[in-house]
Structure 1
Amino acid sequence: MISRVSVIRKCFVSTPYVGPRFRPIQQLRFVSFKQVDQPRIRIGSIAPNFKVDTTKGPIDFHEYIGDSWVILFSHPADYTPVCTTELGAFSNLKPEFDKRGVKLIGLSTEGVDSHKGWIKDIEEVQTNGKEFSFPIIADGKREVAYKYDMVTEEDFGALEQGKTVATIRSVYIIDPLKKIRLIMTYPASTGRNTSEVLRVIDALQLSDAKGVATPVDWTVGKEVIIPPTVSDEDAKAKFGDFRKVKPYLRFTKV
């Protein structure tokens, strides 16, 4: 009897990509998209690696991350109205992400040529003609979407049949250690809030640097929370003055 592990191992095949400047890459051919085999990723998981074609050429995802923060966000298809507005908004905010050492990378379930045509539309209607300057992954086989658990319960049947699904609409914030720090998944009808993604980056980077937590609706410059694990004495030494509302709820500025 052949085990599932041995079957999956046989699915790794060397597939040369016929195109300029492309080297042969290893691609995973899934036996199926069965839900029982669905990978599970959580906050704190190492971001699954993959090698894939993009509008900026082939990438190894872990090499692309390097020592940067990365935002990976996905779309179910090209030329979709809500996704067009989102990609344009991320492109317009790219200078702000650059200041924070954050790379952007999109994903859609069609090929590079289709992506490039879509980018022209985005530049026309969303970026006022400015260049769209970050890569979009070509995930035509939905393998990255499957690996990152982007599909809802109802869409597994469509995924296995190779049909378009409407729920590959997730956002992942990944840190320089390649750990997933935030996951958000949106329905097809609801556009994402790029300002919220930027706010979370600020909060995560501040928390990592200063050992603090951020309260509801926090933005840069507002008070932060001193973790309950830090004593009053240590808090005074580390942060100086702080505001104590409850023994477990103390605010300061950093």
Structure 2
Amino acid sequence: MTLRIGSTAPDFTAETTQGRIKFHDWIGDSWCILFSHPKDFTPVCTTELGYMAGLKPEFDKRNTKIIGLSVDPVDDHKRWVQDIKDVTGHLPDYPMIGDDKLEVAKLYDMLPEEAGDSARGRTPADNQTVRTVYVIGPDKRIKAMLCYPMSTGRNFDEVMRLLDSVQLTARHKVSTPVNWRPGEDVIIAGSVSDDEAKKIYPGGWKAPKPYIRIAPQPRT
């Protein structure tokens, strides 16, 4: 199954460090960040999981649940979390999916069908493509995807910025320009006529080109 922006995030039932979940039911009316890892007790992923634990209050403010996935059993995850706390100072208090049969990794097209059905004996290099971040909306559709190599730690501050943009553009008919940060100017969507835009932005907008209309970020 090939996943793209706009695809429905595949549903699944799995064991996690916080019990058994049915993914879509677990998301509920929230947004979700699903981020995956090739194997437990790997150095880059250890730093990432701890950093995400530190950011969790910010995701909570944004009505966003975070959940990790690693190609190993849940019991290994539970042992790994203490290492994560020792290294980063943060103990992951969000669920981590056990994927020792590779089912979720295959479902999300991160591993091919011929990868087998067991994590046993597999190395991080065997699972190196299990390094994707998915931003999923309350409608259970994929809003964004980011893929990283094993050698490069992910920038979760950028994931937060991306989430802010995706949530804003879901509420308003706007886009966000390069390097946008919350509170900065936005671009009025092309689907909004000038007459409609005048009602939304009575103070007007800047138009360096006819197809670019720059206006203050909507407040709500």
- With structure 2 as the length reference, what TM-score do the two structures score? 0.91
Q: Does 1:132 align with 2:92?
A: yes
Query: Any residues of structure 2 matched to 1:114-153 within 5 Å, and which?
Result: 114-126=76-88, 128=89, 130-151=90-111
Partner of 1:160: 116
Report whether the alignment pairs 1:250 with 2:217. no
Tell me the secondary structure at the aligned position of residue 19 of structure 2: coil
| Cα distance in structure 2, aligned partners of 1:112 and 1:227 | 44
Q: Give the corresponding residue for 2:3.
A: 41
Q: Write the distance in 2 (CA, Å) between the matches of 1:122 and 1:103.
A: 19
Equivalent position to 1:112, from 54, 71, 74: 74
Residue 150 of structure 1 contacts residue 185 of structure 1 at CA under 8 Å; is this kept in 2? Answer: no
AA of the residue aligned to 1:232: D
User: Which residue of the partner structure matches residue 13 of structure 2?
Assistant: 51
Structure 1 residues 101-142: Cα deviation after superposition (integer angstroms, max 9, x where no partner): 00000000111111011100111111x2x4321000000011
Give the counterpart letter for 2:77 in structure 1.
H
Distance 1:112 1:207 in 2: 36
1:161 deviates by 7.8
Residue of structure 2 equivalent to 1:103: 65
- What one-letter code is carried by the residue in structure 1 that aligns with 2:215? T
Q: Does 1:209 align with 2:149?
A: no
Using the alignment, how far apart are the partners of 2:149 and 2:155 within structure 1?
Answer: 13
Query: Residue 52 of structure 1 contacts residue 60 of structure 1 at CA under 8 Å; is this kept in 2?
Result: yes
Percent identical residues:
50
- Report the RMSD for the aligned CA atoms in angstroms: 1.4
The CA deviation string for residues 69-97 of structure 1, in whole angstroms up to 9 with x for no partner, is 00000001000000001101111000000
5+ residue gaps, structure 2, are none
Letter in 2 for 1:119: V
Structure 2 matches for 1:25-104, cutoff 5 A?
39-104=1-66
Q: Structure 2 matches for 1:17-32, cutoff 5 A?
A: none
Q: Which runs of 5+ in 1 are unaligned?
A: 1-38
Distance 2:194 2:208 in 1: 12
Q: Which has the larger radius of gyration?
A: 1
Structure 2 residue aligned with 1:21: none
TM-score, structure 1 normalization? 0.80
| Secondary structure of 1:172's aligned partner | strand
| Structure with larger RCO (C-alpha < 8 A, sep 6+) | 2
- Runs of 4+, deviation exceeding 6 Å: none
Which stretch has the larger CA shift, 237-246 or 88-97? 237-246
